[in-house]
Amino acid sequence: MLSKKAKYALKALIALQEHGSGQPVRIADLARSERIPKKFLEAILLDLKKRGILSSQKGKGGGYLLARDPRRIYFGEVVRMFDGPLAPVPCASQTAYVRCADCPDEAACVVHFVMKEVRDATAKVLDGTSLALAARRVEGAGRGRGRG
């Protein structure tokens, strides 16, 4: 399950991308437009800033901005930073591998084998999709506007 934190982070990033403009957007505005609890969103945006995905400006006229080209902000990075490794099981993780203490032979473990396939499939999607690409794809796929 995607946590609310990760979901809110993605929604906020997408909103910032759509805003474009180079002007900072206030937390309060993002919270309202994306229907995210403001205090909760504060913590999320701060994390994204520490990670170098967002930058911020304090004081009057301040707010948050994308710190990177949206073509270089990948879903995988955001999901991992809030929800941890993509793999369903630590021994199948590429970025945070942990051996199963009780596993005599990983190469022969059926669960490991299948879960590695799941993690690879997931990573292929999330690490292959940037904010910019996703937005383009959605535009291409359907017609209309909105969020979720």
Partner DNA sequence: TATAAAGTCTATCGTACCGATAGAGTATAT
Partner DNA sequence: ATATACTCTATCGGTACGATAGACTTTATA
Contact residues: DNA, CB under 7 A:
3-5, 8, 24-28, 37-40, 42-43, 45-46, 49, 56-64, 83
Alpha carbon distance 21, 27 (integer Å): 16
Pinpoint the alpha helices (H) of 20-54: 27-34, 38-50
Residue with Cβ nearer DNA (23 or 94): 23
CB of 97 to DNA, least distance (A): 18
Is there binding between residue 69 and its own copies (CB under 8 A)?
Answer: no
Q: Which two tokens stand for residue 22?
A: 């180079």
Stretch that binds its own copies, among 21-29, 37-45, 59-67, 115-123 (CB under 8 A): 115-123
Is there binding between residue 20 and its own copies (CB under 8 A)?
Answer: no
Alpha carbon distance 26, 121 (integer Å): 36
b/e 25-40 (16+ beta carbons within 10 angstroms → b) = bebeebbeeeebeeee
Judged by the rule CB under 8 A, the positions of this chain that interact with its own copies are: 1-2, 7, 10-11, 14, 35, 75, 84, 88-89, 91, 100, 102-115, 117-118, 121-122, 124-126, 129, 131, 134-135, 137-138, 141-148
